[in-house]
Chain A
């Protein structure tokens, strides 16, 4: 049975999973979830993800949520085909991939998602304007993270080493949206980060997923 992904292609967290599926050349079915109609808060959805968030993955009788757990599952299940996203054959290299995956989850994501929330989600909710103080505070945090990336990417082509892994992939969707904001200079002004980003955008899997990332951030 084909894997099902519940969610919409414009969601950054859903896109994270779709990228992984494409990197692994794995068939899947995308089942839309109407977030504007709050279908993700209905009991039928909550029985799949009690946190009421997309994406959810169903693979036969297995139901998973949390996009980074889903990408890890897909990468493990299909470790012998497509891109090697985890360096599973070497335990120390695999640990480095997990380390930079944790960096994305705990350093990069909180800052960048807070900016995207203000510049994309808040306007879509229609009730208030983006909070400039939150944007500024998180841009400062993001700059410090990107400074570390700039140094790291001076030594390795990708974050966890010289090949593309989940540690890079997990960054892509929010970065794509971020680059549509007026703050893209944070990436563009760092040559190594910029080169890394351009490389990530050249991947066939990215070219399949990016057309679905259709939301336009407000100018701030």
Chain B
């Protein structure tokens, strides 16, 4: 079975955790392929089975539909790093059992292995990638002055503490609930959107002073927003972004990045 779009199976859905960092991961069983080895020189089709024995040093355990996994994949593609994506059978609950729990005791995807290092929490993983491989691919942290690094940390926290808690709940209401045969709660959506507009108004003011959130170049602080924005822009909530000129431009810029296109393409394989 390939991963052509979302596949709903007539099975009892697992318990839904709206606070999961990757709610979409609950829906999917991985296709019956072995782990993919991705290399940024060319993308491999879902039908190809690599016979290369070369093991990528970086392994990502996750699924392409998961927002948190997408965050990590985006960073890896920005950095032009070879990696292996090892699917996790969410429908079978593999993420809540060993051996996955040894990678992440919180039972959530993604987990990353790089040599003898194992990491979980997507934002810790992306920061590790950005710093460990700072000389490769695109810069994800502005080099040089400490002031910009400090400001980047501020906007990294803003994404994690102010934006994502609201955005991911809206995505849950508008997209994921429907997939489980549950109904979107319009009152909840309205309340959440009321909170999101306050955040986006702040972003609008910020982006009038700075090309990207932390500074005038694209950083992790922008990248971390991509998965939630990707999903919300496919719903009526997109109006909240489109109606704010600077935010709208920023969304267009960050979603147009080639690395992001590769992440999105993985969902279609």
The B interface, classified by DSSP as helix, strand, loop or mixed, is helix
B138 touches A (CB below 8 Å): no
Total number of A residues with any Cβ neighbor in B under 8 Å = 32
CB-contact partner of B151 in A64, A107, A152, under 8 A: A64
Contact in complex: B119, A96 (CB < 8 Å): yes
Of the candidates B19, B119, B131, B154, the one having the most CB atoms from chain A within 10 angstroms of its own CB is B154
Q: Which residues of A contact B162 (CB under 8 A)?
A: 51
Inter-chain contacts of B146 with A (CB < 8 A): 76-77
Closest chain B CB from A171 CB (angstroms)? 15
B6 at the interface (CB under 8 A from A): no
Is the CB–CB distance between B105 and A50 below 8 Å?
no
Min Cβ gap A183→B in Å is 20
Interface residue A194 (Cβ < 8 Å from any Cβ of B): no
Kindly state the interface size class of chain B when it binds its partner. Answer: 20 to 34
Chain A residue with the shortest CB-CB distance to B206: A50
A103: contacting residue among B106, B132, B147, B149, CB under 8 A: B106
Report chain B residues within 8 Å CB of A51. 158, 162, 202
* B172 / chain A contacts, CB cutoff of 8 Å: none
Interfacial chain B residues near A106, Cβ < 8 Å:
21, 121, 160
Q: List 14 A-B contacts (CB under 8 A).
A: A50-B202, A64-B151, A72-B150, A91-B128, A91-B132, A95-B132, A98-B123, A98-B127, A99-B124, A101-B124, A106-B21, A106-B121, A110-B165, A145-B106
Chain A: residues with CB nearer than 8 A to chain B?
50-51, 61-62, 64-66, 68-69, 72-73, 76-77, 91-92, 94-96, 98-99, 101-103, 105-107, 110, 141, 145, 148, 151-152
